[in-house]
A and B are shown apart, each in its own frame.
Chain A
Amino acid sequence: MMGIETEYGVSVPGQPHVNAMMMSTAVVTAHAGRSVGDRGASPRWDFEQEAPLRDARGYDMSRAEADPSQLTDEDFGLANLVLTNGARLYVDHAHPEYSSPEVTNPLDAVLWDRAGQEIMCAAAEAATSAGPFPIRLYKNNTDNKGASYGCHENYLMRRATPFADIVKHLTAFFVTRQVFTGTGRVGIGQDGRTNGFQLSQRADFFEVEVGLETTLKRPIINTRDEPHADPERYRRLHVIVGDANLSETATYLKMGTTALVLSLIENSAIGDDLSLADPVAAMHAVSHDHSLTQVLQLADGREMTAIEMQRRFARAARELVNTQPDSSSDKQTQDVLSRWEATLEQLEVDPTALADELDWVAKLRLLDGYRRRDGLGWDEARLALVDLQYSDINPSRGLALRLESSGRLKRLVEPERVAHAMEFPPDDTRAYFRGECLRRYASSVAAASWDSVIFDVPGYEALQRVPTLEPVRGTRAQLEALLDRCETAADLLAALRGS
């Protein structure tokens, strides 16, 4: 099970001093306004179970030690919505953020991530029409002036898997997966001061190997341990190293290959220890080398390129899948594996042939085109603009979306399915229960969160909290008939009590 949370860059053209929280709030409330007919008073987010300062290594950080930006569980009174598709749409720090509903596979992750992008786009347009400024949103991760904001992946794992194993194998995987997950960036260094192109938007912002922080001294492996589920059974692995992708193929590969490597770790199926001698330096080196030939030092003295290391992970995954009889029936796992292998092979021979699948290749093709046609150097503002505008999520302006609409960037999910996913939750996780409760009983839902829905119904003195601590329960198969029988939230509560 997995999900993606994306913070969008927000700006008013030519006006860097417009308050970012105000703009972000305008975007989120514009979405609420759009749906006001069926959701007069939007249910708020419920913070009771959130513990952002809990560390997977087994201790809590005190609030006094924490930087204020690490406190996300206090309701600052900012806009914070739960959507009928099971997602959360809110203001996080100074950015509008969409957290997708929980899904069970990478293609659904692409689908509900894309739904979020379209929801954001529509909300920005609505906020622009209603307000004094044209608000633009960007699915990127840096302003090239020293600030970065995240696109985080979440993966549900078995609690029993030793965290040390996760750190050991996943670090090398994250450092090297940039060769296909990177969105591309003009500028080297956190503030982009050095001229040039690199694979990743995010790489230069990582400074340590392991840690709890997400906003400063960012770690390659984040230890936030907040499962939003039964903590005895589950861990939620919070991944903060990734770029926000515009290419659906890149998102699909990012989620699919990472889930496969987590399966390898859970099954103790990685024989070869690919630990790097200096992971943080390697993270930067891989990103800064778009020829993909940089040799990395392993802790045991071996030397390999990022592609060679990825091939070893892919080979181990192929072996695991071949030995698991039930997985051969899982077409999507097979599809991820064969795309992963083919992508690595193509990257080695000629990356430019992947311009219709990978963001950094598509972006670099545009940049190289301008460099050749107009003789531009890497310091030219027009190249920085191409980098920025690639991630504009408005389809008339965004360069990735223009490439997509002319068939030069492949899609994996049809627009009709995206439109459906903007309104409806996935069928096969607890997001179904959350989303359907909001769709059917919005006026009786006081609040909701990942692990609860809270009802306010006549006949009950107190608010009624329905916990959803088991992420695979609350699916359509389990609940649709029951929900169809319950005309009101009171009927539902009575039925749940009785069962």
Chain B
Amino acid sequence: MTTQDSGQTRPTPREDAAEDDVAAAVVSRESSSSDIDADVDSILDEIDGVLEVNAEDFVRSFVQKGGQ
């Protein structure tokens, strides 16, 4: 990532930095879709409890002025 001027030594990234081993193999569509649906359903159950009530009014009243 040498967008800075050349000749500058970059600091050694911290050891804990982005350590997760990356390319731990590409996952293909193998897990059964019902397992995935069950996990998503449990997320939705949790989210149902925090979603703002009266979605329509809430979304309609979110009005911003333009920025950059």
Q: Do A and B form a real pair?
A: yes
State whether A389 and B52 are in contact (beta carbons under 8 Å apart), knowing that A346-B26, A369-B43, A403-B43 are contacts in the complex.
yes
**B65 close to A20 (CB less than 8 A):** yes
- A36 contacts B by Cβ under 8 Å: no
Contact indicator per residue, chain B 34-68, by CB within 8 Å of chain A (1) or not (0): 00110011011011001110011111111111111
**B26 close to A342 (CB less than 8 A):** yes
State whether A336 and B4 are in contact (beta carbons under 8 Å apart), knowing that A93-B68, A240-B68 are contacts in the complex.
no
Residue tally, chain B, CB below 8 Å to A: 47
Taking a contact as CB atoms closer than 8 A, the residue among B4, B12, B41, B63 that contacts A156 in the complex is B4
SS class, residues of chain A in contact with chain B: mixed
Cα distance, A494 to B8, chains bound together (Å) = 29
Neighbouring B residues of A13 by C-beta, 8 Å: 52, 58, 61
- A39 contacts B by Cβ under 8 Å: no
Binds B, one of A255-263, A308-316, A440-448, A449-457: A255-263
**A259 close to B3 (CB less than 8 A):** yes
**B67 close to A234 (CB less than 8 A):** no
State whether A472 and B5 are in contact (beta carbons under 8 Å apart), knowing that A93-B67, A349-B28 are contacts in the complex.
yes
Contact indicator per residue, chain B 2-41, by CB within 8 Å of chain A (1) or not (0): 1111101011111011101011001111000000110011
Cα distance, A339 to B19, chains bound together (Å) = 11
Neighbouring B residues of A336 by C-beta, 8 Å: 1
Cα distance, A351 to B64, chains bound together (Å) = 32
- A214 contacts B by Cβ under 8 Å: yes
Which of B13, B20, B66 gathers the greatest number of chain A CB atoms within 10 Å? B66
B39, chain A: closest CB distance, angstroms? 8
Cα distance, A152 to B2, chains bound together (Å) = 20
Binds B, one of A291-299, A380-388, A483-491: A380-388
**B66 close to A149 (CB less than 8 A):** yes
State whether A335 and B62 are in contact (beta carbons under 8 Å apart), knowing that A155-B3, A402-B46, A472-B8 are contacts in the complex.
no
**B13 close to A330 (CB less than 8 A):** yes
Neighbouring A residues of B5 by C-beta, 8 Å: 156, 158, 233-234, 472
**B65 close to A93 (CB less than 8 A):** yes
**B11 close to A427 (CB less than 8 A):** yes
- A94 contacts B by Cβ under 8 Å: yes
State whether A266 and B3 are in contact (beta carbons under 8 Å apart), knowing that A7-B67, A15-B61, A143-B64 are contacts in the complex.
yes
**B1 close to A333 (CB less than 8 A):** yes
**B51 close to A389 (CB less than 8 A):** yes
A227, chain B: closest CB distance, angstroms? 12
Q: State which residues 242-256 of A face B: CB under 8 Å.
A: 252, 256
Which of B1, B3, B47 gathers the greatest number of chain A CB atoms within 10 Å? B1
- A341 contacts B by Cβ under 8 Å: yes
**A331 close to B47 (CB less than 8 A):** no
Taking a contact as CB atoms closer than 8 A, the residue among A11, A14, A105, A408 that contacts B13 in the complex is A105
Neighbouring A residues of B36 by C-beta, 8 Å: 352
SS class, residues of chain B in contact with chain A: loop
Residue of A nearest to B4 (CB): A1
Which of B12, B13, B47, B67 gathers the greatest number of chain A CB atoms within 10 Å? B67
Q: State which residues 353-383 of A face B: CB under 8 Å.
A: 353, 365-366, 368-370, 372-373, 380-382
A283, chain B: closest CB distance, angstroms? 18
**B18 close to A385 (CB less than 8 A):** no
**A353 close to B18 (CB less than 8 A):** no
Q: State which residues 170-218 of A face B: CB under 8 Å.
A: 214-216
A161, chain B: closest CB distance, angstroms? 10
Cα distance, A341 to B13, chains bound together (Å) = 20
Cα distance, A155 to B1, chains bound together (Å) = 10
Residue of B nearest to A159 (CB): B5
- A410 contacts B by Cβ under 8 Å: yes
**A16 close to B63 (CB less than 8 A):** yes
Residue of B nearest to A380 (CB): B55
Known: A95-B67, A158-B6, A369-B44. 13 other contacts (CB 8 A): A13-B61, A149-B66, A331-B17, A338-B22, A349-B29, A350-B28, A365-B40, A388-B59, A389-B51, A389-B52, A402-B47, A410-B20, A471-B4
List A residues at the B interface (Cβ < 8 Å): 1-2, 7, 9-11, 13-16, 20, 69, 92-95, 104-107, 138, 142-150, 152, 155-158, 214-216, 233-234, 240, 252, 256, 259-260, 262-263, 266, 327, 330-333, 335-336, 338-339, 341-342, 345-346, 349-350, 352-353, 365-366, 368-370, 372-373, 380-382, 384-386, 388-389, 396-397, 399, 402-403, 406, 408, 410, 412, 414, 427-428, 471-472
Interchain Cβ contacts under 8 Å between A and B, 21 examples: A1-B4, A14-B58, A14-B61, A20-B64, A92-B68, A95-B65, A104-B10, A107-B14, A146-B66, A156-B4, A331-B13, A338-B22, A339-B23, A342-B26, A369-B41, A370-B44, A385-B55, A389-B50, A397-B52, A399-B50, A471-B4
The 3 closest A-B pairs by CB, nearest first: A149-B67, A94-B65, A342-B23
